[in-house]
Every structure is written in structure tokens, then in C-alpha cells.
Chain A
């Protein structure tokens, strides 16, 4: 149980285009989803926290208009990188925090990540 998927696993796009990354919780309801960015050989940096049905909370220094997050349902969150540039190239990882019967569990389940390369 507690499986999180991401799609696509890898994407290459041209500079100036937008890219959407999907994060799904497959067998549980995810009240909260998190989006991280990881540069090569570095740690995960939290970008934003999204709660189903409400606006995402962005970490300091993360551009809201650049990284659009939508958490439309309890099983799906999307991250859209708008007008992507080469410096946006990174490994993007989502995670989901489970809830059951209205009770939140303080544990995150991670997706496999999406490698974005902007040419």
C-alpha cells in the first residue's frame, strides 16, 4: 500500500514551453501533497505544500507564477513549470501524506521523481 506515482518519469522540452508533471496517490487518499526539487548530488528542497481543494503554500524563494500547483482531488496533484528555462532543469519529486478516516499520518510517501531537462 501507499504507492505514489509520477508522470512522466522523464521529459525534455524546449525553452519557453510549459511542462506539467502529475503526482498520484494510487491506493490512499492524500490530503496533503508536497513538491520537492533536487539538484544533482544535493538534497531535496521543499518547493510547496498543497492541500486538496485549496491554494498551495510555497516556500520562500519559490516563484508561484513559475511553478503552478493544483491539487484538484485527494489522489492527484499537478506541478506545471511555466515558460521553462534551462535553469529549471532538475529532478522533481512529489510526496503524499496519507489520511484515513479524517486522521492525518505524519509520514510521507514519495513518488519516483521526474527528470526535467530544458534545452
Chain B
């Protein structure tokens, strides 16, 4: 069965420290991969996406993610976290040719401490 796993439910990080959020997927073929961020009571904002090509993807707000086919992973990273990065982060996968249907991971809550 297809699945998306975000192993970390909750991460606490100090402001200025680096951040890495894990995402693993199980799909029959390489899917489209996305990372979204959701602030409290808000909709989702796309941070970055991977369709094909370079496996290191740059996104907005200083985030990047690396697609590793051998590990079925698409981990999100940021070198230096800002207090405004505190939010819920969702990894999502979409089937190619599925007109955008997405499956979301459970999400990782990021707390940033001073």
C-alpha cells in the first residue's frame, strides 16, 4: 500500500540551529514530492517540490530538500532556523498523471526556542 511517513511528530530546535525533517514514502514508482508548511489556523503553503531532475531542491524561506531514491526519502532541511519557522510541516506525495491528488504525511510540529 502507498504511504507517507513522517517519523517525527514533534521537534524542538533552538533559533539559529539547523533543522532536518524526515519524510519517507512507499510508492510503486517515483512520485511527485512536496513539502508544505501550515501556521496555526492557516492553509498550507508550498515550500518546495520535486518532480524530476536535480535531486537537491531549493525552496522558499531558505528551505531545501533532497530526494534520495535509494532510501525513498525526501528530507527537508534549513541551515539556520528563525522563530517564524515554528509551524506544522507536512510532506506530501502525488502520483504522476493523477491530476494532483496528494497523500499527506502525519505532519511534524516544529517548536523554536530562543
Contact = CB atoms under 8 A, between A and B. Distances in A.
A46 B98 contact: no
B39 to A, nearest CB: 10
B96 A106 contact: yes
Interface string A80-119: 0000000000000101010000001111111111010000
A67 interface: no
A32 B42 CA distance: 22
B81 to A, nearest CB: 21
Given A104-B100, A106-B32, A112 B107 contact: no
Interface residues of B, number: 26
Given A43-B105, A43-B107, A108 B100 contact: yes
B102 A104 contact: no
Given A44-B90, A93-B44, A113-B43, A106 B100 contact: yes
Interface centre among A43, A97, A104, A105 (most CB of B within 10 A): A43
19 contacts: A32-B99, A32-B100, A34-B102, A42-B106, A43-B106, A95-B44, A95-B100, A104-B99, A106-B94, A106-B97, A106-B99, A106-B100, A107-B32, A107-B46, A110-B44, A111-B43, A112-B42, A112-B43, A115-B41
Interface of B: 32, 34, 36, 41-46, 49, 51, 90, 94, 96-107, 109
Interface of A: 4, 6, 31-32, 34, 41-44, 46, 49, 51, 93, 95, 97, 104-113, 115
Given A51-B99, A108-B102, A112-B43, 10 more contacts: A4-B43, A32-B99, A34-B102, A42-B107, A43-B106, A107-B100, A110-B46, A111-B43, A112-B42, A115-B41
